[in-house]
Amino acid sequence: MTREIPEEILQVKQRLQIIGDSPALIEAIKRAVTVAPIDLSVLVTGPSGAGKEFFPKIIHQFGARKHKKYIAVNCGAIPEGTIDSELFGHEKGSFTGALSARKGYFEEADGGTIFLDEVAELPLTTQARLLRVLESGEFLKVGSSTVQTTDIRIVAATNVDLTKAVAEGRFREDLYYRLSTVLIHVPPLQERGNDIILLARKFAADFSEKYMTKPVTFSEDAKRAMLLYNWPGNVRQLKNVIDQIALFEAGTEISRDKMLEALPLNRNPQATPMIAPSPDNSYEAERKMIWQMLFSMREDISRLREQIGKTEDDQPSLSGVRALMAVPRDESPFASSPLDESEKRTIEETLARHGGNKKLAAEELRISVRTLYRKMQELGIS
């Protein structure tokens, strides 16, 4: 049964063009709308590329400060030596190159909202200045002894675990508690289910409209491949992939093979896996296994194509290959499916590398020993 989304949330999504209906996303939007009219500091957490920048806009546009200035600041993009000047301003001659006095963002946005993205990147000295603004609304320009005041709402965002940063002494504990009066967590793309397909369609349509190219569509197998992929770069990565597909495959239906070619698969999944399941998470382990099999199948298909090309002059051999490829799935001379064979080969090769040690093989495959035993039984591996 489809979960009914409140009308207010639908209006927010439409106004800011937010795509997706997953429960975790809807809950994050609902929290932003609820806190918007209440002048509290908000901390938005979530992985890089997940879309955290939408939430301070919701808070500003649906709050009492919506007619005042909104300034977004990427704290990680400003050099440490100039961050204080950017945020709080400076007086003429306060440092080399300060040829005139300058207002900082906190003075410019007086009465409005400041969004501090990547707030964990702020130096400790700047964190102390920011804490003072949050506690009393007071700040000093660089090179000035005159206290100024500002009426500002701060929304911060980070992809860093700030509790860990506090424990390691990289982030002030008192500032963390002041910033995180209200927490909003933005889910990673892999946890948003069918939102992946909705976003892919939107990005493809946007690309086609903007660059006047023929639109692409996605086969069911291509959609399934997108849903299985881990998307470590989240929404930002999905947009990049779809933009490339929309450019080079304009006007076609995207098959699973074309989708796999567009996705940045790792040729050595054991070294740096795209999917890193916990030992107890059998679902994640199965998903990683599927990706390894899909990648192996893609290489098998490439080798088969090469073989066909080499035997072009050998009519009997070529005919045999074509005849084999034409056999219906039910009547195929192979005893098992290509997926089973690929999975079996992966397990056998891993066991061989570790001299038959099942514990080490399971660790490399990132599955539990119990799952490995079950797979060996199913595939007839001694």
Buried b (16+ CB within 10 A) or exposed e, 29-38: bbbbbebbee
For residue 100, the one-letter residue type is S
Residue 255 has a CB neighbour count (10 Å cut-off) of: 15
The answer to whether residues 247 and 209 touch, using CB atoms and an 8 Å cutoff, is: no
Domain-located, residue 226: yes
Choice between 267 and 196, residue whose per-residue pLDDT is larger: 196
Q: Give the C-alpha separation, 344 to 340, whole Å.
A: 6
Domain-located, residue 277: no
Choice between 258 and 273, residue whose per-residue pLDDT is larger: 258
Find the angle CA(219)-CA(225)-CA(230) to the nearest 5 degrees. Answer: 150
Domain-located, residue 276: no
Domain-located, residue 274: no
Choice between 310 and 265, residue whose per-residue pLDDT is larger: 265
Among residues 294, 277, 297, the alpha carbon closest in space to that of 368 is found at: 277
Residues 296 and 239 in one domain: no
Domain of 230, in residue numbers: 190-262
* pLDDT at position 364: 80
293 has pLDDT over 70: no
Task: Over range 18-29, report the average pLDDT.
Answer: 96
294 has pLDDT over 80: no
Q: Give the C-alpha separation, 308 to 286, whole Å.
A: 33
Each residue of 150-186: pLDDT tens digit? 999 999 999 999 999 999 999 999 999 999 999 999 9
> How many domains, the chain?
3
Beta bridge partners of 155: 42, 115
Among residues 162, 73, 85, 80, the alpha carbon closest in space to that of 120 is found at: 162
Considering the chain, what percentage of its residues have pLDDT values greater than 70? Answer: 79
Residues 324 and 176 in one domain: no
Residues 56 and 158 in one domain: yes
Task: Over range 22-26, report the average pLDDT.
Answer: 95
Tell me the pLDDT band of 31, cut-offs 50, 70 and 90: very high
Each residue of 309-351: pLDDT tens digit? 655 444 444 444 444 444 444 443 334 455 567 778 888 888 8
Sign of dihedral through CA atoms 365, 370, 376, 378?
A: negative
* pLDDT at position 188: 97
Residues 235 and 172 in one domain: no
270 has pLDDT over 90: no
267 has pLDDT over 50: no
Domain-located, residue 267: no
Mean predicted lDDT score pLDDT of the chain? 84
Residues 74 and 182 in one domain: yes
* pLDDT at position 179: 96
* pLDDT at position 328: 44
* pLDDT at position 356: 83
Tell me the pLDDT band of 363, cut-offs 50, 70 and 90: confident
Q: pTM to 2 decimals?
A: 0.69
- C-alpha to C-alpha distances, 253 to 112, 203, 214, 246, 298, nearest whole angstrom: 47, 15, 11, 10, 19
Q: Which of 155, 187, 219 is the last residue of a domain?
A: 187
Q: Give the C-alpha separation, 310 to 305, whole Å.
A: 9
Residues 287 and 245 in one domain: no
* pLDDT at position 295: 59
Q: Give the C-alpha separation, 112 to 90, whole Å.
A: 21
Choice between 310 and 74, residue whose per-residue pLDDT is larger: 74
Residues 205 and 309 in one domain: no
The answer to whether residues 200 and 245 touch, using CB atoms and an 8 Å cutoff, is: no
Tell me the pLDDT band of 66, cut-offs 50, 70 and 90: very high
Q: Give the C-alpha separation, 350 to 382, whole Å.
A: 13
Q: Give the C-alpha separation, 11 to 16, whole Å.
A: 9
* pLDDT at position 237: 96
Each residue of 106-155: pLDDT tens digit? 999 999 999 999 999 999 999 999 999 999 999 999 999 999 999 999 99
* pLDDT at position 321: 41
Domain-located, residue 49: yes
Residues 201 and 215 in one domain: yes
Name, in order, each residue with C-beta under 8 angstroms of 57's C-beta and a sequence gap of 6 or more: 16, 70, 115
Residues 227 and 163 in one domain: no
Q: Kindly write down the DSSP assignment for every residue of 89-103, as one continuous string.
A: -B-TTSSTT--S-B-
